[in-house]
Amino acid sequence: MNVGFIGLGQMGLPMARNLLKARHSVTVYNRTRSRAEELQPDGASIAERPADVCSAEVVISLLADDAAVEAVILGEQNLPARLPAGGIHICMSTVSMTMARKLVAAHAAAETGYVSAPVFGRPDASAAAKLFVVAAGPAKLIERCRPLFDAVGQRTFLFGEDPVAANVVKLSGNFMIASVIETLGEVYALLRKSGVEPARFLEFATKSLFSAPVYKTYGEIIAKEKFQPAGFKVPLGLKDARLVLAAADAVATPMPIADVIHDHLLTALARGRKDWDWSSLARIAAENAGL
């Protein structure tokens, strides 16, 4: 399949590489050209601007936030209007509900295909093609995109015909991950102050009651305080906390734990940890305990 890929961050670059490994033809664009050049040995073509990838059958975008999506997808480049007849745009970015609906409207106006398909997983999962894809959009379009989802992920979950559904699932999932991080931070603080090694507790927890990958992955990171290099930085976590609170506010859904997570991530940012992994949220719980 002829694919365009916009956004080669820690997640996007290995995803584009896996598409190339799956023998798709891939043209890549990234604001920092050197990132795109890393994929040339793998067979990627480099676009000089976002509009240059729009001749592809499918264009995938994975950008940091609403502002980047607005500028690159809906700005002067006007990607929805530039897609060829039958073309599809897959947005894999984590965006607000407002932006999610704006993207749907823009593609409807341009009469071009649109699928929302954010992913779950850290950079190592991206490199190993072990991401979980959460997709929503017209069924016929999703079926056309399945070979691409299969190339970057281990499983794709479908959430209906409305692309916006995938975005609220993504925000909800990220909130749950942050809740696990916060819980682990508080529990580890209690354990350490009570003379119990967090690593020993983690072995018990992940081999009995809490065997899910999120507990294993973040439990180890927090126990060892391996907050750098970051797989997902504090400002991105804070952005997602703000987005889930805004989504909740729009439908009158109280989320008090999300408020705690937001405030603790903001505290981490205030303490100069913008380049730390968002799992350093747990460090705030330790500091609040005097550790």
Contact 91, 114 (CB under 8 A): yes
- Residues forming beta bridges with residue 27, ordered by sequence position: 4, 45
Compute the distance between CA of residue 72 and CA of residue 43 in angstroms, rounded to an integer: 24
Catalytic residue among 102, 130, 170, 233: 170
Single out the residue of 129, 174, 115 nearest to residue 15, CA to CA: 129
Residue with tokens 């603080």: 189
Amino acid in position 176? M
DSSP structural state of residue 39: T
Backbone angles phi, psi at 27, to 5 degrees: -110, 130
Strand 131-135 relative to strand 119-120, pairing = antiparallel
Tokens, residue 99 = 């932006």
- Residues forming beta bridges with residue 144, ordered by sequence position: none
Q: At what angle do helices 234-250 and 164-193 cross, to 10 degrees?
A: 120
Residue 274 designated active-site: no
State the catalytic residues. Answer: 170
